[in-house]
Amino acid sequence: MSRFFNALRDGVGFDVLLVGAALLFLLALAGAPLLYNVLMSFQQVDMFTLGVLFRPFVGFDNYVAVVRQPEFWLVTRNTLIFVFGSMTGQFVLGFALALFFAQKFPGAATIRGLFLVSWVMPGLVVGAIWSWILAGDFGVLNVILKSLGIIQANVFWKSDPNFSIWAVIIANIWLGLAFNMLLLSVGLAAIPRDLYEAAELDGANAFQRFWTITLPMMRSTIGAVLSLGLIGTLQQFDLFPALTEGGPANTSNVAGYWSWQLSFQLYDFAKGATVSVMMFVLVLFASIVYVRSTRHEVRG
């Protein structure tokens, strides 16, 4: 017994306890539901069997049925557009802003702080505000774009199949910008100044310095930002009901929202679970990217 406590105080035991507590908590409250969904995707589910684990097993029937849905490929395409569009926008703008605010000028820190407000904005509120800004006939964005001469007629952001997915992407970029900029700023600040000074002495221009110093030094940060960004984007839910509800005609429907729709609007819980398990594959990919990126970390 005392060996146990010694191990706890002085050895691996302490570490195991710390990690174990958190992992157990996560396993119970995130792992179990995950398992439940995987199980459900292979079963026949109805309202009477929601509360039990053992239901008629149907093999891959649900998967086949989901792929055969007429909207499956459209939703897949939209999910990819949504993920790449949002992540590219968030990352590029976030990186540009992080670089910009790394310059020394009066008020830089204060103004950078203002850019973080979208972080603390509840998704539902952001959805409501953007829904109002993007409205076709009374939306302020159309008025601004028209007065700038960029568009001639109103763009129906939420109802035009060519724009609906972009309406959600615009709102999502705004929502996720803060997170990207903050983490990238942290990464930038960690790069030793003298590296740049040395490069400048060697005659490297700004672009070369960015390419040869900033990017390589930021590798782990970028990995973390991108993989967390992917997870965050796939999980985005609040914006959809507030903006387009996946419409018109599923042109802005993505996997996460579709899975919710199948479960909670069409009451087809098994198919909803199936779609969510399919998303799992994408996130698996993200996690591998993240974990690999941490390989290059050096402890300061």
Partner 1 sequence: MQFVKLGLLAGLAVGALVAAAPAYAQVTLKVWSIDGNDRPGIADTFSKEFDDANDDIVVEYRYIPFDELVNETLRAFATGNAPDIVSFDNPDFALFSSRGAMLDITDRVANSDIVSKAEYFQGPLNSVTWDGKLFGLPKYTDTIGIFYNKDMFAAAGLTEPPTTWAQVVDYAEKLTDPANNVYGATFSARAGEEGTFQFLPIIQMSGGDANKVNTEGAAEVLDLWKQMIDNGWASRDVLSLGQWDSTGTFNAGNAAMAISGPWEIDRMVEDAKFDWGVALLPTITEGGERSSALGGFNWGIMSTTQHPDEAFRLLEYYVSQEDRLFPEFGNLPARGDIALPVTGVEKKDAALKVFQEQLQYARPRGPHPEWQKISKAIYDAMQQALTGQMSSMDALNQAQATIDTIFN
Partner 2 sequence: MTRPYTPWLLLLVALALAAVYLFPLYWMYVTSLKGSSEIFANPPTFWPVAPDPGVYPAVWARRNMPVFLSNSVIIAAGVTAITVILGTGCAYVLARYRNVWIDIGLFCVLMLQVLPASVMVTPLFVGFNQVGLLSYPRTAVVLAAAAKAMPFFVVLVRATFMSVPRELEEAALVDGNSRVGAFFTIVLPLARNGILVCAILTFMSSFGEYIYSKSIIQDPNLQPASVGLSGFLGPNSTDWNSIMAYAAIYVTPILAAFVILQRRIVAGLTSGALK
Site for partner 2 in 227-286 (CB under 8 A): 227-228, 231, 234-235, 237-238, 242, 256, 259-260, 263-264, 269, 272-273, 276, 279-280, 283-284, 286
SS (H, E, C) 152-174: CCCCCCCCCCCCHHHHHHHHHHH
How many angstroms separate the CA atoms of 201 and 196, rounded? 9
Among 29, 51, 114, 148, binds partner 1 (CB under 8 A): 51
The minimum distance between CB 259 and partner 1, in angstroms, equals 14
Stretch that binds partner 2, among 14-22, 69-77, 83-91, 208-216 (CB under 8 A): 14-22
Subset of 8-47 contacting partner 1 (CB under 8 A):
46-47
**Judged by CB under 8 A, how many residues of this single chain contact partner 2?**
102
In the block, which residue shows the tokens 């740049």?
196
Amino acid at 151: I
Q: Which does 46 bind (CB under 5 to 8 A by kind): partner 2, partner 1, none?
A: partner 1
Subset of 133-162 contacting partner 1 (CB under 8 A):
135-137, 156, 158-161
Q: Does 249 bind partner 1 (CB under 8 A)?
A: yes
Binding mask 179-218 for partner 1 (x = CB under 8 A): ----------------------------------------
User: Does residue 72 contact residue 161 with C-beta atoms inside 8 Å?
Assistant: no
In a 13 Å sphere around the CA of 188, the CA atoms on its Cβ side amount to 18
Q: Does 21 bind partner 2 (CB under 8 A)?
A: yes
Binding mask 57-86 for partner 2 (x = CB under 8 A): ------------------------------
**Judged by CB under 8 A, how many residues of this single chain contact partner 1?**
30
Alpha carbon 58 to its chain's center: 32
In angstroms, what CA-CA distances link 74 with 133, 176, 200, 230?
Answer: 26, 24, 50, 20
How many angstroms separate the CA atoms of 247 and 236, rounded? 16
Binding mask 218-247 for partner 1 (x = CB under 8 A): -----------------------x--xxxx
Among 3, 54, 137, 152, binds partner 2 (CB under 8 A): 137
Classify residue 125 as exposed, middle or buried by CB count within 10 Å of its CB (0-12, 13-18, 19+): exposed
Q: Does 107 bind partner 2 (CB under 8 A)?
A: yes
Q: Which does 185 bind (CB under 5 to 8 A by kind): partner 1, partner 2, none?
A: partner 2
Q: In a 3-state reduction of DSSP, which class is residue 43?
A: strand
Contacts for 44-52: CB closer than 8 Å, 24+ residues apart: 44/270, 45/269, 45/270, 45/273, 46/269, 47/267, 50/269
Q: Which does 43 bind (CB under 5 to 8 A by kind): partner 2, partner 1, none?
A: none
How many angstroms separate the CA atoms of 180 and 162, rounded? 27
Applying CB under 8 A, the residues found at the interface with partner 1 are 46-51, 70-71, 135-137, 156, 158-161, 241, 244-251, 264-268
